[in-house]
A and B are shown apart, each in its own frame.
Chain A
Amino acid sequence: MNAATPFWNNRRKRSCTDAATSIVFIIPTAILLIAFVIIPIIWTVQISFNEWDGLQPTMNFVGLENYQTAFQKPQFQKSLLNNFIWAVMHLFFACGTGFFIAFLISRLKRGMGFFRTVLFLPNVIATTISAVMWTQIFNPTYGILNNLLSAIGLDSLALQWLADPDLVIYSTSMASCWQAYGYYMVLFLAGLQNIDVSLYEAARMDGANAFKQFIHVTIPGLRSILTFVISMALINGLKGFATVWAMTRGGPEYSSHLLSLFVYKTAFLEYDYGLASAAAVILGILVMVITIAFNVFSDKINADM
């Protein structure tokens, strides 16, 4: 250090250099984020207040009319309801299965890597391929599911999985859950492996049985992972598009319609970009509200514990 230069001057220079370096590293990401996320979001919100067919050079400002129309449309209402069913299915089946399998694998003495890899495989299959595969599994005539049920004498359970309007949303979401559970499994497994083994030993010494160990050691140990996984499951549950599009295109009628399909069909098949944008904004707000509410709720629980 130069004796003539005060130390705070050097600190300020270093701080400026650090800031410049940080900016250099942030700029590329910031540009991409602004170009491909922020601007499209702003543009979508702007379009949602207008009547526009996506082709004309001008738009007509209609205020909140598109939002009002969306909530009045039976297709939108059905899509909203289906999205909630889809999200709940994701929460219980994808998350639940992921957790259950992770718990079983974590107790293995050998072969953990093998099972982890094999059971993660559905997650790396392309969504469309997975959807086509499940369409074949659910095929009422040639599908493996109905043939298996018939073979074991359960003909009454061999149903029209994709043609029955009351069943189709559950069938399609099961296909999506099958593809997603591997991701949650890996997250849970990482969480389970981070729990200190000595906690289980201490619990055992205090006379806790397996169930009590699970409730009092495993669950609290997975608190932070659980918050993240449940948030992800809800968000993924609200997003689904490719699976439904490839399996049913939202049908029969709109029995398996999701909000994302509503947005797609309204914009690109009916050329009503205003209404589609309004629905997209509603979907975005829904995802944000649920995520924030859940995080606030889990923070509160964590603070209380």
Chain B
Amino acid sequence: MRGKRIVSTGIITMLLAGLLGSCGPTSGAGTNESTGGKIAPEENKHLEIMTYDDDFWQRFVDDFCEKNPGYTVERKLSQAVDTGAIQATLSADDAPDILMVNSGPGRVLPLAQAGMLEDLTPYYEERGWADKTVPYVMDALHNFDNRIYEVVDNVDVFQMYYNKAIFEDAGVEPPTTWEEFENVLQTLKDAGVQPIVLGANDNFSLGHLMGNLIQSNVGYEKMTDILYGDSSWDCPEMIAAYQNLKDWVDKGYINDDAAAIAGIEGQTRHAMGEGAMMVIANGYLQQFVDQEMCKNEDFGTFMFPSQCGGTSAPTAGLAQSWVINKNADNKEGALVFLDYVINDKIDFYDVEKRGTCPTTIVPEGKLEGDPVALEAVKAMEGGAGFNPSVYTTANEKTAYYESNQAVLTGLKTPEEAVKAIQAAKEADDAK
């Protein structure tokens, strides 16, 4: 009996001690005192960087260290660069100095508003970043709360990718006017070919297609005003864009199972030649080329012809950006890293392998390799429209995705769809 009491008392004491111990400050957290205090900024050449976990980023970091002798980089790996995951990372005591995140107002703005990111606006002038960044990207950044919190690493450029062999068999050419485009679609349909392949149940691919229809009907200027100015989503041009989508569904130009399949299945079907066209970003084909399902030269690209009197342009979306942790241990080192991204990364750029579109001005003849990716770079030279998935705010984006699906499946008319997006935008603006 006495033994039992001793054991019980002992266990209770240990638990209480553990509880009290865990309430006290954690030793050494947030400081470097055990190693002799904080390192002076000019001496600190150690950086912690969070990137995706793949070989490309290791080679990228190695290249930075080679070009910036003395720097050591500790990579922290991440599979997710969405805002929620980044917020959790930035809240931790050992948050990295620099992080790769999904770009754009919908993703970076909430983090910036929460005071978690370093304001990079002055450095764009001081360090000459503005002059070296492609105009499209600078415009997109300046639209962001008049402050800049990110250095964009790459851009997705969305165009219509067509299967050359299918076009040849059907006797059609890439269209240059909207009428020609409609004729191509009908000719392919009549030839028993699925004109457009789409996988819409995860929203992204349909968002990309819709972005191009919007660019064709609404144009860059008007869309800028819708996103950032006084114009409204429920304008006649936007209704016309959604009417295009509805017409294509009604005429069978889009596969009737689009709402049931994921974007990747649509892309796979397209890569395997089961449909003539699909709106995808530069670089998306590469995964299928790597698996020898198709070759880059099997496909060509064209931009949606403008229906609003402007020049045709692809749509683009800032893809991933670098941001600096507001509480970074090595802010100066982080800026040196961003200098490298702006000035030197292009030397390292391997278009053939990455297939992404760089965001800094590329000297003539610098990029060689994948002609399809290079075509995207060239398409960007004349500017680009918006991929709304990137530039819409939180509620607005959800409503955009839901409205796209609603029109695709006949749940909403084009008028109802654009009204729903506008209502969501107004709700965001009211916050």
Indicate, yes or no, whether A interacts with B.
Answer: yes
Q: Which residues of A contact B (CB under 8 A)?
A: 14, 17, 20-21, 23-24, 27-28, 31, 53-57, 138-141, 160-165, 248-249, 251-255, 265, 268-272
Central interface residue in A164, A249, A269, by most chain B CB within 10 Å: A269
- Which residues, 374 to 431 on B, are CB-close (under 8 Å) to A? 394-395, 397-398, 402-403, 405-406, 408-412, 431
B260 x A53 contact (CB < 8 A):
no
Q: How far, in angstroms, from A271 to B5 measured CA to CA in the complex?
A: 52
A252 x B408 contact (CB < 8 A):
yes
11 contacts between A and B (CB under 8 A): A20-B9, A53-B114, A57-B114, A57-B115, A141-B257, A162-B259, A163-B260, A164-B409, A255-B409, A269-B394, A270-B394
B261 x A253 contact (CB < 8 A):
no
| Complex interface: chain B residues within 8 A of A272 (CB) | 394-395
Residue of A nearest to B261 (CB): A139
Q: How far, in angstroms, from A17 to B4 measured CA to CA in the complex?
A: 8
Q: Which residue of A28, A55, A253 is within 8 Å of B412 (Cβ)? A: A253
Q: Which residue of A24, A57, A141, A255 is within 8 Å of B8 (Cβ)? A: A24
Known A55-B110, A163-B260; 18 more pairs at CB < 8 Å: A20-B5, A23-B12, A24-B8, A27-B12, A53-B113, A54-B87, A55-B87, A55-B111, A56-B113, A140-B256, A140-B260, A160-B256, A160-B259, A248-B201, A249-B202, A253-B403, A270-B395, A270-B398
Cβ-based interface call for B15 (8 A): yes
| Complex interface: chain B residues within 8 A of A139 (CB) | 257, 260-261
Q: How far, in angstroms, from A255 to B395 measured CA to CA in the complex?
A: 18
B260 x A55 contact (CB < 8 A):
no
| Complex interface: chain A residues within 8 A of B431 (CB) | 53
In the complex, how many residues of chain B place their beta carbon closer than 8 angstroms to a beta carbon of chain A? 41
Q: Which residue of A27, A57, A163, A269 is within 8 Å of B258 (Cβ)? A: A163
Q: Which residue of A141, A265, A271 is within 8 Å of B110 (Cβ)? A: A271
A251 x B110 contact (CB < 8 A):
no
A21 x B8 contact (CB < 8 A):
yes
| Complex interface: chain B residues within 8 A of A265 (CB) | 398
| Complex interface: chain B residues within 8 A of A141 (CB) | 257
| Complex interface: chain A residues within 8 A of B87 (CB) | 54-55
Q: How far, in angstroms, from A162 to B259 measured CA to CA in the complex?
A: 7
A279 to chain B, nearest CB (A): 14
B428 to chain A, nearest CB (A): 9
| Complex interface: chain A residues within 8 A of B4 (CB) | 17, 21
Cβ-based interface call for B191 (8 A): no
Fill in one digit per residue for B233-268: 1 if any A CB lies within 8 Å of its CB, else 0: 000000000000000000000001111110000000
Fill in one digit per residue for B110-139: 1 if any A CB lies within 8 Å of its CB, else 0: 110111100000000000000000000000
| Complex interface: chain B residues within 8 A of A253 (CB) | 402-403, 405-406, 409, 411-412
A20 x B409 contact (CB < 8 A):
no
| Complex interface: chain A residues within 8 A of B8 (CB) | 17, 20-21, 24
| Complex interface: chain B residues within 8 A of A27 (CB) | 12, 15
Contact A249 B203, CB 8 Å, known A20-B5, A55-B110: yes
Closest 9 CB pairs of A and B: A55-B114, A163-B259, A163-B260, A162-B260, A140-B257, A252-B409, A253-B406, A270-B394, A20-B8
Cβ-based interface call for B84 (8 A): yes
| Complex interface: chain A residues within 8 A of B201 (CB) | 162-163, 248-249, 251-252
Q: How far, in angstroms, from A210 to B131 measured CA to CA in the complex?
A: 87
Q: How far, in angstroms, from A78 to B53 measured CA to CA in the complex?
A: 39
B280 to chain A, nearest CB (A): 20
- Which residues, 328 to 365 on B, are CB-close (under 8 Å) to A? none
A251 x B259 contact (CB < 8 A):
yes
Q: How far, in angstroms, from A222 to B395 measured CA to CA in the complex?
A: 49
